[in-house]
Amino acid sequence: MCSYIVEKTALMGSAKGRRGWMRIDTANVYFDHPYYSTLDHVLAIDFTNEGEGGRDRVAIELSADSARALVERILAALASGEAAHAELETEPTSAAIAMLY
Write out the residues near another protein by the rule CB under 8 A: 1-4, 6, 8, 28, 30, 32-33, 35-36, 38-40, 46, 48, 54-55, 57, 59
CB of 10 to another protein, least distance (A): 13
CB of 66 to another protein, least distance (A): 15
* Of residues 33 and 70, the one with the C-beta less far from another protein: 33
* Cβ-proximal residues to 26 (8 Å cutoff; 6+ apart), any chain: 8, 9, 10, 11, 47, 48, 49, 50, 54
Distance CA 49, CA 37 (A): 24
